[in-house]
Copies of this chain bind each other. A is one copy, B any other.
Amino acid sequence: MTRTIKLAVIPGDGIGPEVIAEANRVLDAVLAGGDVVLDRTEFSLGAERYLATGETLPEAEQAAIAEHDAILFGAIGGVPGDPRLRDANIERGLLLKLRFDFEHYANLRPCTLFPGVTSTLRDPGHVDFLVVREGTEGPYAGNGGTLRGGTPHEVATEVSVNTAFGVERVVRYAFETAAARPRQKLTWVHKTNVLVHAGAIWQRVVQAVAAEYPQIEVDYMHVDAATIFMVQDPSRFDVIVTDNLFGDILTDLAGAIGGGIGLAASGNINPDGTFPSMFEPVHGSAPDIAGQQKADPTAAILSAAIMLDHLGLGAEASRIRDAVRADLATRGSAPRATAQVGDAILAELSRS
């Protein structure tokens, strides 16, 4: 019996199409000969599309994407400072809109220092943790405004909106995730001493849910202290759960210590299955190196592995990760073209 998975592919801008091409090759290879078929639809969205048509995410396209089983996303964004993009906000209007409208409330960002990969840390120790970043509220809610804009009396606000509903569902997901891992440890990160209202709702929810998971060791850290531990003793972390903005910051830092943002994968998960989940490298569109085969597609390939996990294809996901691990162990530091990295990972796959 063939299982057909409807996959929406959004390669995006800059290096997005290059890295997604490699992820697609790896997906095809790992599924070849099996009973799973990918039925892909490509959506051309991002800064280039906006520049060409003025459109960011037309309703009909969003509806079409919603009909898929999963979304593979490259990276979006034009050249910084491009005046033609001044009034666009591709990030808010496309990437964040998908995360919010599709209820991607659990943004999974694993951080593993694979053998053979050099960390920016002198003595990284054991680095293998997972950040569960809230994806649908907090400071990303988009509730803000400007009064007397452009004048010396301008006041601009940003409202972080935190709901018991929104915090509880991601905290619960994080506890479930921690319970399925050997270390049974969850660190929640906030800034409760300053952001007292948002901090209080997080604290109350974490305490309430923790009572249902007595076996899990629960630790709290202020976000500033968390950055210190991340570079001084990352082995302290197993699962981290935090809000949208703190998660954004901590996962870029995690990417850097885990061998670089070229290896950092993510999944924007809708655990309820009401909308397709979306899988994307943490890195951006890097227009400065686009089209030159300079980008590392590993993050996109590892994101495809997270996607397979999510789709219940854990064995295939593991094969991809093992192939990446094998390639990284022998990769060295000589620069390789984007497709060469894809080739190498495909070669490892064919050996397994």
Contact = CB atoms under 8 A, between A and B. Distances in A.
Interface of A: 77, 80, 89, 91-92, 96, 118-123, 139-140, 142, 144-146, 148-165, 168, 191, 193-198, 200-201, 204, 220, 223-225, 227-228, 231-232, 245, 248-249, 251-253, 255-257, 260-261
A158 B159 contact: yes
Given A227-B256, A253-B253, 10 more contacts: A122-B122, A140-B194, A144-B196, A155-B161, A156-B198, A156-B201, A158-B159, A223-B248, A228-B253, A231-B231
A194 B91 contact: yes
A251 B163 CA distance: 29
A133 to B, nearest CB: 11
Q: Which of A92, A122, A231 has the most CB of B within 10 A?
A: A231
A156 B197 contact: yes
A251 B204 CA distance: 28
Nearest to A91: B193
B261 A248 contact: no
A322 B297 CA distance: 48
Contact of A151 (B119, B152, B159, B164): B164
Contacts of A251: 224
B120 A154 contact: no
A122 B120 CA distance: 6
Contacts of A154: 163-164, 201, 204
27 contacts: A77-B193, A89-B193, A96-B194, A118-B122, A119-B122, A120-B231, A121-B231, A139-B139, A140-B194, A144-B196, A144-B197, A146-B197, A146-B201, A152-B165, A153-B164, A156-B162, A157-B160, A158-B159, A158-B162, A159-B160, A227-B249, A228-B252, A228-B256, A228-B261, A231-B253, A232-B256, A249-B249
Contacts of A194: 91-92, 96, 139-140, 245, 248
Given A122-B119, A164-B153, A193-B89, A227 B252 contact: yes
Contacts of A197: 144-146, 156-158
Given A121-B122, A122-B119, A164-B151, A157 B225 contact: no
A195 B196 CA distance: 20
A249 B223 contact: yes
Contacts of A232: 120, 256, 260
Contacts of A231: 120-121, 231, 253, 256-257
A160 to B, nearest CB: 4
A96 to B, nearest CB: 7
Max chain B Cβ within 10 angstroms of own Cβ: one of A92, A148, A225: A225
A263 to B, nearest CB: 12
Contacts of A157: 159-162, 197-198
A236 B55 CA distance: 36
A27 to B, nearest CB: 28
A156 B203 CA distance: 12
A48 B82 CA distance: 54
Contacts of A123: 120
B146 A155 contact: no
Contacts of A160: 139, 144, 157-160
Contacts of A118: 122
B196 A224 contact: no
